Amino acid sequence: MNELELKYGCNPNQKPSKIFMKDNGELPIKVLNGKPGYINFLDAFNSWQLVKELKAATGLPAAASFKHVSPAGAAVATELSDTLKKIYFVDDLKLSPLASAYAKARGADRMSSYGDWAALSDICDAETATLLKREVSDGIIAPGYTDEALEILKSKKKGNYPIVQIDPDYVPAEKEYKDVFGITFEQGRNELKIDDEMLSNMVTENKSLTDEAKRDLKIALITLKYTQSNSVCYAKNGQAIGVGAGQQSRIHCTRLAGNKADIWYLRQHPKVLGLQFVDNIRRPDRDNTIDVYISEDHDDVLAEGVWQQFFKVKPEILSAEEKKEWLKTFSGVSLGSDAFFPFGDNIERAKRSGVEFIAQPGGSIRDDNVIDTCNKYGIAMCFTGIRLFHH
């Protein structure tokens, strides 16, 4: 099969729609269940490239959670602490390494991962399928599925959950084409390999990168390679914890991703961990309630006559001062940027979210100011010399 007809394109009025091989070769995918759409396949092919590269760069099973052609989260398999299991709501499950990777990928930004496209670097096992079954998701791509996993996933969405299998040995053509306004663009594929060598040009006084930092910087940069630009990614513990995608200015990327990283860390605050939800609360409602409780809009869920909808017991307010003090303990975070930082204000904002390690291309006329700002805080920064724009 070298083409697959789709229901419609990005929007219902955009017909006809299909995916196909220009060289009349075979499509490298099989649809095992459901009917993936145009945007589903855009997410599927971008997310598959991401997890495949994460696996190659780290040697660990990898997973991603995609929304609108950018990752809400990406991660590799590392052991989860009891706290992380709790904030990812998987403390009641048996987790394989692959399931742990997906729990982390989805847990980075559970609000944004609602209705995600999931990608796995390895054959989907029953543990990962069981985790995914109870989440709101629009589909999955993986190089294969165990019989048990396939049976579990086919039960989602009343039997209509899109399941795509991709040939892991598929190698795309060296050139890519894209039509915009009836005009065809051509470019060479971005085959750039992100590895430890790319992190070797240390430009700050602190030239120390831990093995964990190197792993997390590679995760951040590979995530950015498949994130709509401009983009910045914070990473810690083998996962992205904040992705800022598609912003017009670098500082807005840094702020957006930093705010997401802060929420990730604030969810580990004892007051948040101690929230007692009503028994019948839906998972998306619980995730939304946590974000509102952490934010300055907490009155929306703690007002009299309202909190009973969500909580068994009315929680204490998590004050601005308590949040500030908690965030002061945030540390060991790695930060990647898909293009150079033009001003030191990005470093100032990154420092507030526990950033200690940075990888960015360099090349700004104000590189000296950015380096000096890093030196002020003892941050270790390397220049990769490589831009990672993705459009």
Active site residues: 67-68, 230, 391
Which 3 state secondary structure label does DSSP give 83?
Answer: helix
Look at strands 62-67 and 116-120 and give their pairing.
Answer: antiparallel
Identify whether the C-beta of residue 388 lies closer than 8 Å to the C-beta of residue 221. Answer: yes
The C-alpha angle with vertex 320 and arms to 358 and 238, in degrees rounded to 5, equals 30
Which tokens go with 182?
């009836």
Residue reference for tokens 């696996």: 55
Core vs surface per residue 258-281: b (16+ CB within 10 A) or e: bbbbbbbbbbbbebbeebeeeeee
114 token code pair: 């609602």
8 Å CB contact between 47 and 40? no
CA–centroid distance for 292 within its chain: 21
Residues in the chain: 391
Identity of residue 147: D
Q: What angle do CA 380, 385, 390 make, to 5 degrees?
A: 105
CA distance 66 to 301: 28
- Strand, coil or helix: 340: coil
